[in-house]
Amino acid sequence: MNIEKIKSDFPLLSRKVNGKQLVYLDSAATSQKPKQVISAITNYYENHNANVHRGVHKLSEEATEAYEGSRKKIADFVNAKANEMIFTRNATEGINLVAQSLGFRKGDEIVSSVMEHHSNIVPWQMLKSRGVTTRFADIDEDGILKMDDYENLITKKTKLIAVTHVSNVLGTINNVKKIAKIAHDAGALLLVDAAQSVPHMPVDVRNIEADFLVFSGHKMLGPTGIGCLYGRSELLDAMPPFMGGGDMIKDVKLEGTIYNDVPYKFEAGTPHIAGAVGLGAAVDYLVKIGMKNVHEHEKKLVNFATTELQITETYGNAPENGGIVAFNVHGLHSHDVASMLDENGIAVRSGHHCAQPLMKRLGIVSAARASFYVYNDEEDITKLSASLKDIINLLKRKKVV
């Protein structure tokens, strides 16, 4: 991978922050966008802007072709069929769609985990009003899911296991294929939150045997406001629509409505057409690099960062990690650390990262987080480490005074 060439594709990375060259280490929150994606969106609005599926004029045909072409690209990217790929606003909406449409009933049980993003906890907790119970698998001291917990938590009432593929705090890569077998052996389904895996490593929905899988476009070089829900076609066919309105219908009469086929049944109203086009361009960009190359690059960066950040307290020690390192500087709140790094043009995340149960499990309130992507290199991590050393030395001097 030619990182300098890749960096040159990202206009925002050339700017300065507080007079310093920007070092962007917050891709787990949202990735930057290459000029190829920006150009694809601009081209759509300048040359093809129209509503999809509903018009017979040329522009509508072109917009529909671009929209559905992106769906096919994105489906191929994770080895799904086009009719199994539903466009949503983000991964969160995909999880909520499943929560509301899968047909949970009183007495049903869901198994999640303590390392989940709030998006994979709260939607299941909201089903409590229907009499649905949510249970949580724990992690060990290395930040690895306790597989025995699944065996102990699953009962005949378990309808679904919901698990993250890669922790957005610890970077732990979970063995979702093994969890799929546990779920299926118990007669339950598996939903995978792949928001932190699809952008960073090869993901094959058929290989991991996921029943549902969600991800967000803005974390994988695409625009905000577009995401995807993969679902096995027989499950989606049996589920009622999430929302009602235009385009999700075949026939509407005052006496009742006949719903459209999957995936359109779940895409009410005018969709985010430009977002789908942009996400399709992002997939093209990632395919050109190669997802194995992306994953190997990030593994090297994480190994380098783990060594460089030994001056801090880091969290998670799984044998396989995604491109994420969470850390704290003793004596400083993570927000203070992030603010001081920002003064040097270094952008990291701070706070609870929408994972408060995990923070509690780790015995902390918050953490700073550096997350890497295709446009990062070892020099970025060296700058982070040097800046952290300056912060720690400043803290020591203040304590002496």
- Residue 354 falls in the annotated catalytic set: yes
pLDDT over 60 at 400, yes or no: no
Report yes or no on 183 lying in a domain: yes
CATH of the domain at 199: 3.40.640.10
Domain that holds residue 385: 3-25+291-400
Report yes or no on 31 lying in a domain: no
Report yes or no on 32 lying in a domain: no
Look up residue 181 and give its two tokens: 């077998």
- Residue ending a domain, choose from 286, 307, 327: 286
Q: What is the pTM of this model?
A: 0.96
- Within a 10 A sphere around the Cβ of 300, how many other Cβ atoms? 14
281 lies in the same domain as 372: no
Q: Which residues contact 29 (CB under 8 A, 6 or more apart)?
A: 219, 349, 371
Q: Which residues of 108-141 are buried (b: 16+ CB within 10 A; e: fewer)?
A: bbbbbbbbbbbbbbbbbeebeeeebbbbbbebee
271 lies in the same domain as 162: yes
The pair phi, psi for residue 11, each rounded to 5°, is -55, -40
365 lies in the same domain as 272: no
Q: For residue 324, what are the CA distances in angstroms to 82, 125, 153, 263, 286?
A: 31, 27, 29, 33, 19
pLDDT of the residue at 109 = 98
264 lies in the same domain as 331: no
Report yes or no on 199 lying in a domain: yes
52 lies in the same domain as 170: yes
Total number of domains in the chain? 2
Q: Which of 293, 297, 285, 289 lies closest to 223 in space, CA to CA?
A: 285
* Single-letter residue type at 380: D
Q: How many residues does the chain have?
A: 401
99 lies in the same domain as 147: yes
CATH of the domain at 329: 3.90.1150.10
pLDDT (tens digit per residue) in 310-335: 999 999 999 889 999 999 999 999 99
311 lies in the same domain as 348: yes
Report yes or no on 337 lying in a domain: yes
Q: Which of 354, 364, 392, 395 is catalytic?
A: 354
- Residue ending a domain, choose from 253, 286, 319: 286
314 lies in the same domain as 272: no
d(CA 37, CA 220): 11
pLDDT (tens digit per residue) in 45-69: 999 999 999 778 999 999 999 999 9
Look up residue 168 and give its two tokens: 């957005």
261 lies in the same domain as 324: no
pLDDT (tens digit per residue) in 212-254: 999 999 999 999 999 999 999 999 999 999 999 999 999 999 9
pLDDT over 80 at 397, yes or no: no
83 lies in the same domain as 145: yes
pLDDT of the residue at 124 = 98
* Single-letter residue type at 355: A
d(CA 67, CA 355): 34
Instruction: Report CA 245 to chain centroid distance, whole Å.
Output: 28
165 lies in the same domain as 188: yes
pLDDT over 80 at 392, yes or no: yes
203 lies in the same domain as 334: no
